[in-house]
Amino acid sequence: MAASVFDSPLFARLFDTGETGRLFSDTAAIRAMLLVEGALAKVQGSVGVIPEISAAAIHRASLEIQIDPGALAAPTGENGVCVPGLVAAFRQEMQAPEHAQYVHWGATSQDIIDTGTMLRLRQALLLAETDLRAILGALGRGAGEHASLPMPARTWGQIATPTSWGAVIAAFGAPLADALEELPALRQGALWVSLSGAAGTASALGPQAGETRAALARALGLVDPGRSWHTDRTPILRIADWQGRVTAALGHIGQTLLGLTASGVEEVSLGAVGASSTMPQKQNPVGPSALVALGHQFTGLRAGLQAAAAHQHQRDGAAWFAEWMMMPQLTLTCAAALGQANRLTASLGPQPIRMHATLDEGIGLVHAEALSFALTDRMPRPEAQQVAKRLCRDAQEKRVPLAELARADYPDLPPDLFDPARQMGEAPALARAFAERVAKL
């Protein structure tokens, strides 16, 4: 087994990261850093920090030159960062020392690596948005179509009161819709350029440091934070927090579907299921299981990233190294969960007969709460609760429907009290409201 499932041909379809996986390769990292170096030279040329002819040569070379990641292994091992080796290799490949001397002018390794990371995270968020829209489209259609399909709600793993399949779907999608709507603010508040020099003071960049940083941000389509963020990992944490909430919402979908597809429940069909190596009858809920597993992985990695956000002094190698180890994995975990959920939500199907059978359950205990409130027309609430509990116990012991026992004692109870379709509360409205919300996204 590979060290990471995301690098494994064996698990490539189970934990498929799609296009996001290509963003987190050594080749992609080098390409992003070269784009930063080229853009930096171009803006420095435009504001007169370096000769404009050299800036043009560097920018052109940054688009054309390719650096072998393997060739940077030795200097990276020696220096702890890849940028010194990358800059040296780039200068050599330019074969124009009169221009190459201006590569990386006034910047530090962290500026280049952090800005390159932001370029890749920007693309990762764009890909996540595409998956989110597809997932929400499927959930919105399902919520609208099944807004009034009764099914049992469950709390603490036990049957509670009637709800609707559409409302369950709406609950799946609401936090995902929130995440989608938050993306513009996230991009503005997290996709930052870094250009602050060795100790965050931009001293080597000269009096035009602020102007250069702002121009670099514009050139790369990033945001100028107006300061150093070498030790303030807020933008990284903001992105990870957003990814975490998305992954948690998808994990909730997975957990719920594991329960709804369990033997003896079977209220939902998944479309695609897995087989057992030895039990012919098995239809394993692979997709939901993957969502739950990815959620567990994200939680562990996120804790490590939080710890790594506490840097020392003005720059910190150790904390920064830890961030390199975890942020790509967090991003790929979220991407894999989104991809799995995209496929899963496209094929979800309710099983109305099974849902009705569970609601009926032979004795109708799902209506116990409604009964307890209906009885308050005749007695105080505490007494009504006690009467309802007694009737539930009698129903269980005698295997007689709750409705039959309740009407024997209280024949004037509302006629629709034990009709699941009439006891769903706001569930149908919530489902329709979600469907309408998705249609406007």
1-46 per-position pLDDT tens digit? 788 999 899 999 999 999 999 999 999 999 999 999 999 999 999 9
- The half-sphere exposure of 104 on its side-chain side, counting CA atoms within 13 A, is 20
Q: Hey, is 66 helix, strand or coil?
A: coil
Weakest-pLDDT range from 45-49, 320-324, 395-399: 395-399
Helix (H) or strand (E) holding 199: none
CA distances from 395 to 361, 370, 398, 404 (A): 11, 16, 5, 9
CA gap 58, 104 in Å, rounded: 10
Residue 54: pLDDT over 90: yes
Q: What values do phi and psi take at 331, rounded to 5?
A: -65, -40
Residues contacting 282, CB < 8 A, separation 6+: 274, 275, 276
CB of 151 closer than 8 Å to CB of 424? no
Q: Which residue in the list 276, 347, 381, 390 is annotated as catalytic?
A: 276
Burial class (CB in 10 A: 0-12, 13-18, 19+), 397: exposed
Residue 67, pLDDT score: 97
Residue 270: pLDDT over 70: yes
Domains and CATH numbers, the chain: 110-192+228-356+425-441 (1.20.200.10), 365-417 (no CATH)
Residue 41, pLDDT score: 98
Residue 274: pLDDT over 60: no
Handedness of CA 362, 368, 370, 371 (dihedral sign): positive
Residue 276: pLDDT over 60: no
**Residue 282 backbone zone (phi > 0: left; psi -120 to 50: alpha; other: beta):** beta
Question: No. of H helices and E strands in the chain?
Answer: 17, 4
List residues bridging with 162 in a β-sheet.
Answer: 152
Residue 168: pLDDT over 70: yes
Residue 278: pLDDT over 50: no
Handedness of CA 370, 375, 376, 377 (dihedral sign): positive
User: Which candidate, 132, 145, 120, 112, places its Cα nearest to that of 28?
Assistant: 120
Q: Which tens digits make up the pLDDT trace of 198-218?
A: 999 999 988 889 999 999 999
Q: Which residue in the list 315, 343, 372, 432 is annotated as catalytic?
A: 315
Question: What's the average model confidence in pLDDT over 129-136?
Answer: 98
Residue 362, pLDDT score: 66
Strands 349-350 and 268-269: antiparallel
Let me know if 276 is a catalytic residue: yes
Question: What's the average model confidence in pLDDT over 277-301?
Answer: 80
